[in-house]
A = this chain, B = another copy of it.
Amino acid sequence: MIRIGIVDDKKNNRIILADKLRRNNLFDVRLDAANGEQFLQKMMELKFDERPEIVLMDLEMPIMDGIVTIATGSSLYPGVRYVVLTTFDDDDRIFNAIKAGACGYLLKEESGEIIADILVNLWTNGAGPISPSIAYKILQMIQNPPPVKLPLAGKKSENLFQLSEREKEILRFLCQGLEYKEIALKLSISANTVKKHVINIYDKLHVNSKGHALHIAYTKNLL
């Protein structure tokens, strides 16, 4: 049984999709959330071996949209694979979703069988599921990179996590392996303040330790 999570703001969509998947008994749909925040919340509550292995994620959601959710989720739970399921193949979103860490991109219109097929393939081979028309778009984007839009290489990505300047500054020091005291000294502020900033950073990154924060900082190019 492959453990599946479904995140979509429309309850009906979740039900239909879960039904589609449950029809063959390879899937165990065990997480169901209406938005990103709810999803992260529920993930936190699950033990390691109860978490879904594959998460199907809608992009358009209130409160916390799919891209941000994937970005944080894929850093928090690197073992989980995120597959974007959407109704329209919108160029910008594709690219952003991929950058955020989605490992596949499917159109909702695909039949239940195709989706099931593709998820099984993802699970067994690790091969990323991509609808053909999406794959083609990706190729085109590589061949003709959109004007400036998205810096492919190590450029700093736009402020995905809404960190303030000060917070970014402190995150950079943190990434160099400095501890609170040392950062405080460098910035001529109190170590308590540094700590407060760090906690605020964790909140924005949805993490709760230095390790996780650095992981996100390094993998999402926040420096």
Contacts and interface: CB of A to CB of B under 8 A. Distances in A.
A218 interface: yes
Interface in A115-142: 121, 125-130, 132-133, 135-136, 138-139, 142
Contact of A145 (B154, B186, B209, B211): B154
A129 B132 contact: yes
A153 interface: yes
A178 interface: yes
Nearest to A152: B145
Contacts of A218: 175, 214, 218
Nearest to A216: B177
Contacts of A121: 132
Interface residues of A, number: 53
A68 to B, nearest CB: 16
Contacts of A138: 135, 138-139, 142
A176 to B, nearest CB: 5
Interface in A189-223: 207, 209-216, 218-219
Given A145-B153, A177-B210, 9 more contacts: A98-B139, A98-B142, A104-B139, A130-B130, A138-B138, A148-B154, A174-B211, A175-B215, A211-B214
Interface of A: 48, 75-76, 78, 95, 98-99, 101-104, 121, 125-130, 132-133, 135-136, 138-139, 142-145, 147-148, 152-154, 174-179, 182, 185-186, 207, 209-216, 218-219
